[in-house]
A and B are shown apart, each in its own frame.
Chain A
């Protein structure tokens, strides 16, 4: 199994965020995490990458138990899980050129003797137009282009898992579709797994393999994405489906 999450529990002081969260993710599989704002989706994602430490529970990558603190993980364990943040404006240094942005990752990997993808290959994968724009400053790219650059940067380390945390929530409708299609394309091309945190799932058009819904600290529904509309059983999921019908019909 590529990723195993076992019995994760997390509180902030007296306030419980996650309770006994467990799920598996196979190689080449995508899982969308849904739940209301504040339900702990981002906290769970940050526990997987070691940015937040859980109170109890374990995370395994290819059956190897990962240290809860990213500072204590090996470089290889860090590089194999990449995180795409919600805000592409603050995730990239605006004064760097596109090339320098990606070179920073290459340099860090070289220092740690970690094999990387060629910059051109990563750029061509997300948008061939970038190949002619490597000297362009990040500040001159739009939000959608910057998010593609973040994805190209993530690809450089040949990750096994990409966590996309609201990666499209700051983009308009067209860019949202483009980024989601891109994530699907790289998933198939590189056989990598994806965990996507999405607050406005489009059940008619999105293409995820499975969905996990978190409510009241627990996973209340975990199933194939295509079955969700018919078979979701929790009250929260039913409310989510009703709201989807309210907005999208």
Chain B
């Protein structure tokens, strides 16, 4: 599904050289490395919309299409949750409205039973549907972002630090939640907790 060969990213006057990466359909891959090693830059270059760095590569494709030829239509099948996605909530609308808009934008219908069942699996009380963003904790926002990313039914789910504000008990919920999608879609996840990646990923790429 994803091929990266001889990729070099020049960003912020810094050059990062990446190992060759090949990710198959329905594989769960963890990305791990020290801060500043270029994990987020790689995800932004591959899955973002307006990456500002310079790219040099022999081959860099998603579903056999060169990444420079991909436009916003890639989000028809990709759910990309960048770092700090939890800060992207619109403060003026409720959680339900966020979910409704996500589904509407992807041509899907709102099914309250499906939503509450997923919330329960993520350890989220369905009362939160009526909450506004300022009433949510960082960890609740992170899990709601994951919920919306999954509700979209993507073929590729990309998560950059989805658990930075989550306690160990909730992290275990998240492990079980993500494990249930193994083999059903391709997942790429960056996490600074290596233990999390070791629990869920098929393999870990060290950058």
Contact = CB atoms under 8 A, between A and B. Distances in A.
Interface string A30-44: 000011111100100
Q: A-side binding surface: helix, strand, loop or mixed?
A: mixed
Looking at chain A, what size class is its interface with the partner chain? Answer: 35 or more
Given A37-B139, A172-B33, A199-B165, 7 more contacts: A15-B135, A37-B170, A143-B35, A166-B164, A173-B194, A239-B169, A247-B199
B169 A36 contact: yes
A243 B196 CA distance: 12
Contacts of A200: 166-168, 171, 193
Interface in A3-35: 12-13, 15, 34-35
B161 A199 contact: no
B167 A142 contact: no
Looking at chain B, what size class is its interface with the partner chain? Answer: 20 to 34
Interface of A: 12-13, 15, 34-39, 42, 86-87, 139-140, 142-144, 166, 169-176, 199-201, 236, 239-240, 243-244, 246-248
Contacts, number: 89
Nearest to A174: B34
Contact of A38 (B84, B136, B172): B136
B168 A247 contact: yes
Interface of B: 12, 33-36, 84, 123, 127, 135-140, 142-143, 161, 164-172, 192-196, 199
A37 B172 contact: no
A171 B168 contact: no
Given A36-B170, A37-B137, A247-B195, A169 B34 contact: no
Contacts of A246: 168, 172
Nearest to A168: B192
B164 A170 contact: yes
